[in-house]
């Protein structure tokens, strides 16, 4: 490999220019000189690039001294990681945008007016209210059963008798059932709140979609 200084490059390229109309051999016509920056920060040129510099940005000149190609430097692992993260973020943004477009089409295709959305919301909440009332009646029955079982056990204890394992196990089972139904009752409150929030967001978006866009100012 021949390495040329900046002055050497000028001489080589100048010689090529001074050759004028003299035809060069085929091998020389395809010759390319490349320039790079060495470890001392100095510009160096040659017909091939040392291995330690192949990752740098470098210029490739033809026989007339014209830059025919600029080879970019290789990217670092950190730069590749940043680009990959940016690509993932673009993909996620595109996915969210498509999901929103799909949902917008659903809103416009499902409801004919804001009243339709309000009606759907009220029907859903009314259904949950009905289920919650059933849960409340079940809780009342559970509480009554727990109280009765506890009274049986207390009566035996008061009489100086030891309740059998069947009685105490049944009491524990009744208490677990009561706790589960109380939890279910509370979850109905949460679900109704979520339904109200969802339909509220749907209503706001529907209004936005149905509202004509303001004309741009001149």
Is the residue at 49 inside a domain? yes
Please state the φ and ψ torsions of residue 152, each to the nearest 5 degrees. -60, -45
Residues 153, 81 share a domain: no
Specify the higher pLDDT residue, 171 or 79: 171
pLDDT beyond 70 at 40 = yes
Residues 124, 185 share a domain: yes
pLDDT confidence of 88, banded at 50, 70, 90? Answer: very high
What number is the average pLDDT over the span 163-175? 94
pLDDT confidence of 38, banded at 50, 70, 90? Answer: confident
Q: And the tokens for 203?
A: 């209503």
pLDDT beyond 70 at 152 = yes
Is the residue at 215 inside a domain? no
Instruction: Tell me how many domains the chain contains.
Output: 3
pLDDT confidence of 56, banded at 50, 70, 90? Answer: confident
Q: Give yes or no for a contact between 38 and 51, defined as CB atoms under 8 angstroms apart.
A: no
Is the residue at 129 inside a domain? yes
What number is the average pLDDT over the span 85-108? 96
CB-side exposure of 63: number of CA atoms within 13 Å?
Answer: 17
CA–CA distance, 21 with 24 (Å, rounded to integer):
9
Is the residue at 126 inside a domain? yes
Residues 84, 42 share a domain: no
CA–CA distance, 35 with 3 (Å, rounded to integer):
9
pLDDT beyond 70 at 141 = yes
Most confident among 39-48, 78-87, 109-118, 208-217 (mean pLDDT): 109-118
Q: Which residues pair with 36 in a beta bridge?
A: 44
Residues 140, 161 share a domain: yes
Residues 52, 100 share a domain: no
Range of the structural domain that residue 85 is part of: 75-110
Residues 90, 43 share a domain: no
- Strands 58-61 and 67-71, how do they pair? antiparallel
Residues 117, 50 share a domain: no
Q: Mean of the per-residue pLDDT values for the chain?
A: 82
Is the residue at 79 inside a domain? yes
What number is the average pLDDT over the span 127-152? 96
Least confident of 4-8, 54-58, 74-78, 112-116: 4-8
């Amino acid at each position: 490999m021949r390495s040329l200084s900046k002055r050497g490059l000028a001489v080589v390229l100048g010689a090529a220019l001074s050759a004028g109309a003299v035809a060069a051999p085929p091998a020389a016509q395809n010759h390319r000189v490349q320039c790079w920056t060495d470890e001392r920060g100095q510009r160096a040129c040659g017909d091939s690039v040392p291995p330690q510099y192949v990752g740098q940005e470098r210029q490739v000149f033809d026989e007339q001294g014209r830059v025919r190609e600029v080879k970019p430097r290789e990217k670092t692992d950190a730069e590749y990681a940043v680009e990959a993260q940016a690509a993932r973020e673009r993909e996620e943004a595109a996915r969210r945008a498509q999901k929103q477009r799909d949902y917008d089409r659903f809103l416009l295709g499902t409801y004919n007016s804001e009243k339709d959305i309000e009606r759907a919301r009220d029907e859903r909440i009314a259904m949950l209210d009905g289920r919650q009332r059933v849960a409340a009646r079940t809780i009342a029955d559970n509480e009554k059963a727990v109280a009765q079982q506890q009274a049986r056990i207390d009566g035996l204890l008061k009489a100086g008798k030891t309740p059998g394992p069947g009685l105490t196990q049944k009491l524990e089972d009744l208490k677990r059932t009561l706790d589960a139904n109380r939890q279910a009752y509370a979850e109905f409150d949460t679900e109704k709140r979520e339904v109200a929030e969802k339909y509220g967001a749907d209503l706001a978006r529907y209004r936005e979609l149905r509202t004509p866009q303001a004309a741009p100012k001149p």
